[in-house]
Structure 1
Amino acid sequence: MRILFLGDIVGRPGRKAVAAKLGELRRSLELDMIIANGENASQGIGLSIKNARDLLDCGIDVLTSGNHIWKYQNLYPFMNTCERIVRPANVPQGAPGKGWTVFRVHDEVPVAILNLQGRTFMSPADCPFKCADRVLKEIDPEVKIILVDFHAEATSEKQCLGRYLDGRASVIIGTHTHVQTNDAKIFDSGTGFMTDAGMCGPTESCLGLTPKPVIKRFVTGLPQQWKVAGGPVELQGVLLEVDRESGRTLSIEAWKSGLMTV
């Protein structure tokens, strides 16, 4: 099973680049499945219902998210009914949407996608370690391929969850920092891991945003008006191959599209 996981899609530039490239990528990389984190796809923070539908229609099989998913309340009813979008499973009980889903690739092979949110330097959430324990018990044992999007700030927290779930999930991929890491690996019990997938957005930016307001926020400590940057766009993510029978990761690597103008 060949899967491409795309890092956080940032604003209109990220959406346009993804929509323009996905069909070609599915063919050239011989992909069975495409997953992407969409929590920053609308104006750089949040995900509107229109943009969610457009991303799913353009070829993304499942959208994961994170702490910014709550900005657009018009998305909430869609999250409750759509099986192809997930929010962190460890947010307080009663929140809209689902924390995990099962998607059947080619209407045949089931793949479970679990979304978790970190707690270090993040907004309040329940323990992701205990939540993962609970959800993994709920997933049908016949589902061998389990992918976890761990939306977290701290490298240490991401790596610890990866080690904690080694042998129980197929792969743990970190999101949220928008900076692609160079530490793709397979742990001893067959679980693939990478600290952060990066982002799909403008490269001449601060995490996809126009640099000046972000720099001014650091210098002055005062709130600023964020704006998605322009210029060249790059898609970043993780390319992996997973064994359909055992669920073990066979290969995993950081992936980039190269610069594009959109």
Structure 2
Amino acid sequence: MRSNGHPLMKAAAWGGLLFMHFPIAVIAMYAFNTEASSFSFPLQGFTLEWFAKAFAREDVRAAVWLSVEVAAQATALAMLLGTLASAALYRTAFFGKEVITLLFILPIALPGIVTGIALLSAFKLAGLESGMLTIVTGHATFCIVVVYNNVIARFRRTSASLLEASMDLGADGFQTFRHVVLPNIATALLAGGMLAFALSFDEIIVTTFTAGSERTLPIWLLNQLSKPRDTPITNVVALMVMLATMLPILGAYYLTRDTDSVAGAGK
């Protein structure tokens, strides 16, 4: 049974939501403001001029494309490794399993600056120059976590009898994976990939240590803080980043919201 809740609790909940989302609303509001010089209030007017100017700038387009490319590659790598890791660990019991599980989860629990310094030291030790490869590798370390958590949770709700029945009926390992396992974990895998893409797209701390001379969109935004004349364009790009990260998160939520009590629950 659901309770309506105390009015004070409702007010506190709405107050917390307002506190968290008010800065986002301010950025969105000033992205359409006709005034370019400062954050003046009330707004001087409504315009789409800054969107056109933002998309016309080569540095913005290059930063957007680099962020999309990095996020796509990091997500693909995380989906592959996270799925393999979850498949290997969900049913097998062995000494040290909890330690290995902790190692998979640790990158997203550690402060970003610790992860960034550790990755930078490892890359220097390996003789790798900072660039596209190091950014993708760095992002994949924490993107694996969300894929692993989503997929292993679905594996735990998948009946082992389905796999046994498939093998008893003559299917080999690949056929069982393709026709039984993959349909059951599909939504969890897709949701994990969408969350991984969102995490990678707006990551800045780890990227700062691994990017070298490359400039992803979050790094471009950070550099823009010292350029007050570009404030309207910066607001537009910040709004783009928020939308690019919000939509995959909402998509992942809708993909998995009705599958918590269904074994497998593939769609």
TM-score between the two structures when normalised by the length of structure 1: 0.25
**RCO (CA 8 Å, sep 6+): is it higher in 1 or 2?**
2
The answer to which structure has the higher helix fraction is 2
